């Protein structure tokens, strides 16, 4: 897939069906032996669930079935079948899929967006999960009466990444998102390359993570963020010189105070060569940088990158401790252009639950704290604040922007677009049985690069349409108008819907 800059046009959605014979869906469609192969169901269904067969129609895409809600339609195949051979029921596999944060509905709706580039028409909740807290208890307050209709092409979802006013390049991205670090070793090279290619097609960026800079990424240098983490794995002066953004990873939300950890089974000869390590040995990134214990030390780091690469912006990825507002101010005065706040919901399978669930501050608390502090300091408009750690949907993205972020950094959503089922075995042995988070050569071949690239592009095009719709409903023409609009949000634990002058959604 070509870069946006190369083609001069924005990418379009293309249908990319599941790579598995039977895609997981909410309903199960069965054609019984009474079928006389009249083909009526094939002609009726507008969603392509059926295909003509020699003895009876074949159910080829039951995940596209509208389900029980279709009973009100004239094309409802169950009631229109002349011999009553079709039965429809909830898929028992669907009932045990996912978890409280990534529910079966969220997984299936993300797969639908990745396949089609459109919102699901099935009875799927694509806005929230079932965690009982965080984004799942927060709603937008939309005006009861919409303001004058704003054309889609009059709405901008772009953000600037360099707002410091220095002599570094002014970089804008057309969506308020870029893709977070997933290193070579933690995910397959195919997954890594597909994410970078998708970022290039969308005109944004993708981070390498701390596992080095594989040669396969070189054609996409202008859309790569190279990461300098505490283990310094794969850090090279020549790769730092090639990119437009360099990111320091001081900490991440899933494992603050613990550093990184790549189990030995995933350290293949290729991964070991990239990281200058020994194949089969577990690799650890220490916490913290033992050369950084003050803002002055931090500034030396930033100055180092700026001296090596005179065109690069400097991003800083930090966790969300209670004094995260002071951390961000320190990064600003050290010369950083972007600060990424990584909340406790994100992270990898290698992070222990005790860290993921109990140490860092949830991102929905950290971002408003930072936003209001930067405003009080008079520097909010001079630094770009990016939020990460648990952003699953376009609605999550819009909510955290309303809480004070300029944009978001994403990771897990990309993997779900590639049909991740959240089995939580990312870090172990051969890793992912679906070929996503693995270094096993045989499993890596389960994914084709063009397919994976387009799936990620499709999903984010659907996100952009949702964000545009949210802005239209709020009467806004630019996503920057949404930043810090706490007044547009309601938390269901602290407000009664009938007390709100607007529609909660």
Residue 425: Cβ within 10 Å count: 14
Residue whose token pair is 């950890």: 261
- Tell me the average pLDDT of the chain: 89
> Whose CA is closest to 108, among 392, 344, 391, 356?
392
Tens-place pLDDT, residues 47-91: 999 999 999 999 999 999 999 899 999 999 999 999 999 999 999
Residue 209: Cβ within 10 Å count: 27
Paired with 247 in beta bridges are 227, 315
Instruction: Give yes or no for residue 500 having a pLDDT over 70.
Output: yes
- Greater pLDDT, 192 or 269: 192
Tens-place pLDDT, residues 86-125: 999 999 999 899 999 999 999 999 999 999 999 999 999 9
Order of strands, sheet of 138-142, starting from the edge strand that comes earlier in the sequence: 489-491, 138-142, 503-504
Instruction: Give yes or no for residue 474 having a pLDDT over 70.
Output: yes
Six token digits for residue 107: 């997984």
- Greater pLDDT, 290 or 63: 63
- Greater pLDDT, 75 or 275: 75
Instruction: Give yes or no for residue 356 having a pLDDT over 70.
Output: no
CB 3 within 8 A of CB 201: yes
> Whose CA is closest to 390, among 347, 328, 339, 349?
347
Residue 141: Cβ within 10 Å count: 19
Q: What is the mean pLDDT of residues 372-388?
A: 97
Q: CA 91 to CA 263: how far, in whole Å?
A: 36
Give the per-residue pLDDT at 173: 98
Q: Is 29 left (phi over 0), alpha (psi -120 to 50) or beta?
A: beta
Six token digits for residue 410: 């994403």
Q: Which fold, 27-90?
A: Alpha-Beta Plaits (3.30.70)
> Whose CA is closest to 260, among 229, 237, 291?
229
Instruction: Give yes or no for residue 8 having a pLDDT over 50.
Output: no
Give burial (CB, 10 Å; 0-12/13-18/19+) of 126. Answer: buried
Architecture of domain 153-491: Alpha-Beta Barrel (3.20)
Residue extent(s) of CATH 3.30.70.20 domains in the chain: 27-90
Instruction: Give yes or no for residue 2 having a pLDDT over 50.
Output: no
- Greater pLDDT, 131 or 277: 131
């Amino acid at each position: 897939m070509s870069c946006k800059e190369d083609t001069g046009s924005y990418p379009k959605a293309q249908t990319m069906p599941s790579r598995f014979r039977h895609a997981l869906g909410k309903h199960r469609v069965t054609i019984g032996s009474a079928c006389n192969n009249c083909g009526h169901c094939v002609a009726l269904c507008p969603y392509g669930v059926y295909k003509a067969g020699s003895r009876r129609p074949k159910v080829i895409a039951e995940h596209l079935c509208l389900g029980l809600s279709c009973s009100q339609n004239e094309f409802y195949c169950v009631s229109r079948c002349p011999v009553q051979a079709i039965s429809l029921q909830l898929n028992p596999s669907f009932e045990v899929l996912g978890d409280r944060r990534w529910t079966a509905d969220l997984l299936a709706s993300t797969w639908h967006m990745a396949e089609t580039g459109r919102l699901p028409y099935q009875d799927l909740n694509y806005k929230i999960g079932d965690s009982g807290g965080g984004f799942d208890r927060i709603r937008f307050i939309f005006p009861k009466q919409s303001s004058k209709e704003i054309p889609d092409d009059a709405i901008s979802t772009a953000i600037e990444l360099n707002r410091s006013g220095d002599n570094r390049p002014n970089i804008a991205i057309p969506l308020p998102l870029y893709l977070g670090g997933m290193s070579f070793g933690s995910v397959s090279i195919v997954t890594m390359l597909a994410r970078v290619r998708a970022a290039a097609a969308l005109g944004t960026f993708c981070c390498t993570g701390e596992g080095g800079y594989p040669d396969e990424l070189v054609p996409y240098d202008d859309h790569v963020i190279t990461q300098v983490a505490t283990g310094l794995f794969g850090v090279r002066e020549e790769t730092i010189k090639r990119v437009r953004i360099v990111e320091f990873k001081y900490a991440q939300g899933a494992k603050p105070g613990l550093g990184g950890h790549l189990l030995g089974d995933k350290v293949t000869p290729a991964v070991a060569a990239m990281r200058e390590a020994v194949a089969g040995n577990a690799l650890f990134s220490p916490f913290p940088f033992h050369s950084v214990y003050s803002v002055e030390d931090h500034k030396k780091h930033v100055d180092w990158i700026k001296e090596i690469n005179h065109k690069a912006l400097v991003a800083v990825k930090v966790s969300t401790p209670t004094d995260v507002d002071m951390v961000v101010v320190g990064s600003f005065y050290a010369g950083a252009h972007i600060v990424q706040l990584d909340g406790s919901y994100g992270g990898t399978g290698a992070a222990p639950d005790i860290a993921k669930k109990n140490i860092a501050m949830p991102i929905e608390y950290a971002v408003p704290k930072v936003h209001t502090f930067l405003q009080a300091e008079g520097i909010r408009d001079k630094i770009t604040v990016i939020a990460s750690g648990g952003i699953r949907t376009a609605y999550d993205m819009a909510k955290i922007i309303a809480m004070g972020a300029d944009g978001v950094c994403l990771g897990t959503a990309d993997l779900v677009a590639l049909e991740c089922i959240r089995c939580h075995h990312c870090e172990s042995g051969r890793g992912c049985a679906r070929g996503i988070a693995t270094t096993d050569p045989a499993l890596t071949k389960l994914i084709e690069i063009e397919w994976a690239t387009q799936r990620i592009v499709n999903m984010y095009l659907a996100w952009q349409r949702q964000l545009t719709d949210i802005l239209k409903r709020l009467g806004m023409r630019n996503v920057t108008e949404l930043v810090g609009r706490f007044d547009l949000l309601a938390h269901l634990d602290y407000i009664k819907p009938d007390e709100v002058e607007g529609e909660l959604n």
